Amino acid sequence: MSSARGGIVDTKAWQELKSHVGEISKLHLKDLLGDKARCESMMKEYDGIALDFSRQRATQDTFQKLFQLAKEMKLKDKIDRMFGGDHINSTEDRPVLHVALRAPREALIACDGKNVVPEVWEVLDKMKDFSNRVREGQWLGATGKPLTDVVAIGIGGSFLGPLFVHTAMQTEPGCARLAKGRRLLFLSNVDPIDAAFTLKGLSQETTLVVIVSKTFTTVETMLNARTMRTWITSTLGPAAVAKHMVAVSTNLKLVKEFGIDPANAFAFWDWVGGRYSVCSAVGVLPLALQYGFANVNEFLEGASSIDSHFRVAPFERNLPVLLGLISVWNVSFLGCPARAILPYSQALQKFAPHIQQLSMESNGKGVSIDGTPLPYETGEIDFGEPGTNGQHSFYQLIHQGRIIPCDFVGIIKSQQPMYLSGEPVSNHDELMCNFFAQADALAYGKTPDELRAEGVPDSLVPHKTFTGNRPSLSLLLPNLTPYTIGQLLAIYEHRIAVQGFIWGINSFDQWGVELGKSLAGKVRNQMHLWRTKGKVVEGFNYSTTTLLNRYLKGKAQIYSASYGVFPSEVIRKN
């Protein structure tokens, strides 16, 4: 790989951090954790959220060097340019203004010379009104029944963020109360099995479909949208679309062409990236239909609180900046390619999948923002599961295999407290015992001497040894409400942007998803020609041609009748 001269690797701070790695490798976390002043300096709090990063393989000196790197990479300037509406997504020539989606009504955020906050609130007000009407039974289905079930069709950013927030809200008592008698379902995969799952037990008469697509061209989403339209019109007739289908998009022209009245469309804007869009109508509409607008507004306020903090707090106590720098340190200097997201809350079970897209689509890049190949890796391989399920799955590798920096996320007040009399601790306490224990187990490990002192036979000592010195950080939230869910979301959104700003890449485009999409189009074309015109498969390599022929012939043996029966079979099952 050729080097990006004049980039990050040539900064003094980068060189200093590189040589600093040698000093850090001589230190073990069990010693670092004995330094109270160091630990105190690595615990920060903002608006109820506590961050403890004392279990990072780093000293105060490391952070001074990272702050210097941030300075040399003009981090403050890049953050200001983001909030200022500059076209920092240069390959798409767009501003990056998801912060405007949760700005207070009176805020002023300019985009190309125009304050965008009033139009954001115009759509928020429209969603409040629409969701209230649906929830209160003023907006009824074609046969006069209330619409109690919502199916949100979308994929990627038009799915993962809303799914994460929905999953986190559904067991919160205030949200659960307002969701009583209602269902929110997501249809994302174009696999008909996903449609079959979603449609099971649904009735057309009581279902509202929300098509969520920024571009309104995404193949999977549009086929699912046509599938749902067929499902609705097959029993209720074409006129029912007006009552049973609405859309969220930046492309209102295509929404209209699909047959949805623009009055039933909820707009957002090019300056909102798909994976940063959960605070737009993409998330707000389905969530407001399920939980009422007030809860969603609280979620937006939580995110907005972090936005203000991110924009003005000094880096030394700026949670997203600290987290971003920690990731850069782990990836670029300590050579850790992955990051585990480990929420100790079942309600956060969809947090890791959301962060996976947010982080990997944003920062999985091979060139700098000016197109120069990077001489260093960017991005992390993100994965995770809620504790304690992860502990009984992949933690073996984390404790004794590869070094994977871990993010532990814990909650003080459970959404669903449970305590059995006679038990030493409550059920949630038991969960949280693991939250505290795992971070220390990773940091301290267990030495052969300790094992021998416990009488472990020599033959087992190597197997039972834990090297320790494995980095983690802990985020402790007071509770899991719409507000703190919004905070958590924004912390990670900004952390990921910080990483990209430091690495000098564009975290807001996603050209890497295009090639596979266009090749799929070529396959689709060939499939169609083979079936309709008997044309031989051509234009692929030997491997693809062979497998594709096998697939087509196999399918032909199964479905001898007209191919059109296939999609409606899924529908007819209901």
Per-position x/- string for 288-327, each x denoting binding to ligand F6P as judged by CB under 6 A, each - no binding: ----------------------------------------
Of 131 and 218, which CB lies nearer to ligand F6P in the complex structure?
218
Q: Find the catalytic residue in 18, 200, 413, 517.
A: 517
Closest CB to ligand F6P: residue number: 274
Size of the site for ligand F6P (CB under 6 A): 14
Note whether 157 binds ligand F6P by CB under 6 A.
yes
- Tell me how far, at minimum, the Cβ of 251 lies from ligand F6P, in Å: 8
Residues in 10-39 that interact with ligand F6P by CB under 6 A: none
377 catalytic? Reply is no
Quick one: three-class SS letters along 359-420?
HHHHHCCCECCCCCECCCCCCCEEEECCCCCHHHCCHHHHHHCCCCCEEEEEEEECCCCCCC
184: three-class secondary structure by DSSP: strand
Q: Within a 10 A sphere around the Cβ of 175, how many other Cβ atoms?
A: 24
Of 277 and 484, which CB lies nearer to ligand F6P in the complex structure?
277
One-character DSSP codes across 61-126: HHHHHHHHHHHHTTHHHHHHHHHTT---BTTTTB---GGGGGS-TT---EETTEE-HHHHHHHHHH
Any idea which residue has 């020599």 for tokens?
Answer: 458
Token readout for 280 is 């737009």
- Alpha-carbon distances of 305 from 82, 283, 309, rounded to whole Å: 17, 18, 6
Token readout for 216 is 């309104």
| Stretch of residues binding ligand F6P (CB under 6 A), selected from 69-77, 87-95, 150-158, 173-181 | 150-158
Of 272 and 432, which CB lies nearer to ligand F6P in the complex structure?
272
Q: Within a 10 A sphere around the Cβ of 40, how many other Cβ atoms?
A: 9
- On the CB side of 309, CA atoms within 13 Å amount to 25
392 catalytic? Reply is yes
| Residue 461: its H or E element | helix 461-464
For residue 314, report the phi and psi dihedrals to the nearest 5 degrees: -55, 145
- Tell me how far, at minimum, the Cβ of 213 lies from ligand F6P, in Å: 3
- Tell me how far, at minimum, the Cβ of 215 lies from ligand F6P, in Å: 3
Per-position x/- string for 463-502, each x denoting binding to ligand F6P as judged by CB under 6 A, each - no binding: ----------------------------------------
d(CA 223, CA 320): 38
Q: Find the catalytic residue in 18, 200, 253, 392.
A: 392
| Stretch of residues binding ligand F6P (CB under 6 A), selected from 81-89, 156-164, 239-247, 338-346 | 156-164
d(CA 318, CA 302): 16
d(CA 152, CA 185): 6
Any idea which residue has 């607008």 for tokens?
Answer: 293
Closest CA relative to residue 415, chosen from 491, 479, 361: 479
Beta-carbon contacts of 520 under 8 Å, excluding residues fewer than 6 positions away, are: 219
Per-position x/- string for 351-370, each x denoting binding to ligand F6P as judged by CB under 6 A, each - no binding: ----------x---------
555 catalytic? Reply is no
Note whether 162 binds ligand F6P by CB under 6 A.
no
Of 207 and 213, which CB lies nearer to ligand F6P in the complex structure?
213
Note whether 213 binds ligand F6P by CB under 6 A.
yes
Q: Find the catalytic residue in 220, 361, 385, 493.
A: 361
Note whether 218 binds ligand F6P by CB under 6 A.
yes
Any idea which residue has 């939580």 for tokens?
Answer: 302
Applying CB under 6 A, among 115, 203, 206, 215 the residue interacting with ligand F6P is: 215
- Tell me how far, at minimum, the Cβ of 248 lies from ligand F6P, in Å: 9
| Stretch of residues binding ligand F6P (CB under 6 A), selected from 101-109, 144-152, 209-217, 415-423 | 209-217
Amino acid identity of residue 251, one-letter, is: N
Applying CB under 6 A, among 55, 78, 135, 275 the residue interacting with ligand F6P is: 275
Contact status, residue 342 vs residue 384, Cβ threshold 8 Å: yes
Applying CB under 6 A, among 146, 274, 379, 384 the residue interacting with ligand F6P is: 274
Applying CB under 6 A, among 146, 156, 471, 482 the residue interacting with ligand F6P is: 156
Note whether 286 binds ligand F6P by CB under 6 A.
no
Applying CB under 6 A, among 155, 179, 336, 441 the residue interacting with ligand F6P is: 155
d(CA 321, CA 334): 18
Of 188 and 484, which CB lies nearer to ligand F6P in the complex structure?
188
Of 513 and 565, which CB lies nearer to ligand F6P in the complex structure?
513
Peptide bond into 447 cis (omega under 30): no
Applying CB under 6 A, among 62, 158, 167, 207 the residue interacting with ligand F6P is: 158
Per-position x/- string for 221-260, each x denoting binding to ligand F6P as judged by CB under 6 A, each - no binding: x---------------------------------------
Beta-carbon contacts of 129 under 8 Å, excluding residues fewer than 6 positions away, are: none
Q: Among all residues, which ones are annotated catalytic?
A: 361, 392, 517
Contacting positions for ligand F6P (CB under 6 A):
155-158, 213-215, 218, 221, 274-275, 361, 510, 513
